[in-house]
């Protein structure tokens, strides 16, 4: 919660930016369109701030720029589905995110 509050204050002050946060959240809360997309796709989605990522995932993603969207199936093999550049291009659009995610999942 403290991390989110820090981000909101930093974002409003122009000192913090996260392309994935722009997709998932409005300035004050998670977007309803995001919640609807998650429900519609039926995917198990876990949003993690940088300081919440488990050590094994940090190791698997070493050298990869955040934010990103990754798939971690039961075998533990990490696959980056959407990288920071792709998320930035979405300009906060949940619709663009869903289209890209479905496409990335179909190709993986």
Q: What is the pLDDT of residues 14-37, one digit of tens each?
A: 556 789 999 999 888 899 999 999
62 φ/ψ angles, rounded to the nearest 5 degrees? -50, 130
Q: What is the pLDDT of residues 31-72, one digit of tens each?
A: 999 999 999 999 999 999 888 899 999 999 999 999 999 999
Which sign, positive or negative, has the C-alpha torsion 15, 52, 93, 69?
Answer: positive
Q: Does the reported pTM lie above 0.85?
A: no
80's enclosing H/E stretch is: strand 79-82
Contact 82, 62 (CB under 8 A): no
Q: How far is the C-alpha of 9 from the C-alpha of 50, rounded, in Å?
A: 17
Q: Range of 15's domain? A: 2-107
- Indicate the number of domains in the chain: 1
Q: How far is the C-alpha of 14 from the C-alpha of 22, rounded, in Å?
A: 13
Closest CA to 68 of 97, 39, 93, 96: 97
Closest CA to 41 of 33, 29, 49, 52: 33
Rounded mean pLDDT of 84-106?
97
Is the pLDDT assigned to residue 4 strictly greater than 90? Answer: no
Residue 38 confidence (pLDDT): 96
């Amino acid at each position: 919660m403290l991390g989110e509050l820090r981000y909101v204050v930093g974002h409003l002050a122009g000192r913090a930016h996260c392309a994935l946060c722009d997709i998932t959240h409005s300035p004050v809360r998670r977007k309803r369109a995001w919640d609807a997309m998650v429900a519609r796709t039926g995917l198990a989605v876990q949003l993690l701030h940088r300081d919440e990522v488990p050590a094994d995932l940090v190791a698997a993603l070493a050298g990869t720029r955040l934010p990103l969207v990754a798939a971690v199936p039961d075998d533990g093999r990490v696959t980056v589905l959407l990288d920071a550049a792709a998320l930035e291009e979405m300009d906060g659009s949940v619709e663009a995110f869903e289209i890209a995610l479905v496409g990335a999942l179909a190709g993986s």
